[in-house]
Each structure stands twice: as C-alpha cells, then as structure tokens.
Amino acid sequence: MRDVRDYLEERLAAEFGEKKIHLNSQFPGTERLSNTCNFSFRGPQLQGCSVLAQCRTLLASVGAACHSDHGDRPSPVLLSCGIPFDVARNALRLSVGRSTTRAEVDLVVQDLKQAVARLEGQA
C-alpha cells in the first residue's frame, strides 16, 4: 500500500505543484500509516469540504482522523505539527487499500484537478 500512497503523493505534487498543494504528512524521520495521505490545497476557496463537494467520483474525509467531526475548523494535530492555519483548514485525507491501483489513483487526481478548476473558476 505504501507504494500506491507514495504514487498518489507524487501525482498530486506533479499535477498541482508546491504553490497549489501542501503534503501535510511528510515529515523527515517520522513514521506514518502506509495507506494514508493528508494534504491541503492552497487557496481560500479550496477548503476540503468545498473540494470534495465538487468531486464527481472521489469520496474522502477532511482534516485529521482524530478531528473529522469538527467541521471546517483546522485540526489541532495538524496545527501542532507546524502546518499553518490556512493550510490546515483546507486538509483532505485520502486512504488507499490493498486493491487500489495506480489507474484509480490517476482517476482521483483528475477528479481533484477538475474540482479545483471549478472552484477557482467561481472565485
């Protein structure tokens, strides 16, 4: 699963670039779940809930696992890790499974790209 998660993060970084996306769960020298990717889109109109509402195929959750019931307030866990408030507020959490394929990851990244484009077009 780690390989597919890493592929997801590579595709997100390649598609959106550092100015548009922040990978929240990549800290040197730390261990993390092999199937989970936490990231944020940069931009006031790109809050996690808004992005997910525009997705046509992706089902995911926002924030951090221990914070998913707190609405649009940023996760205290992400904030304590040094993630800036405006970035943490936009967090999305994606998980992959044993059967997740790279082709499925590519579809998710395309769905996210189209969702972000729709939201930016409304601004």
Q: Give the active site residues.
A: 66
Strand partners for 116:
none
Please name the residue that has the structure tokens 């790279």: 102
What single-letter amino acid sits at 60?
A: A
Q: In a 3-state reduction of DSSP, which class is residue 39?
A: strand
SS3 59: coil
CA distances, 9 to each of 5, 12, 71, 93, 109 (Å): 6, 5, 25, 12, 10
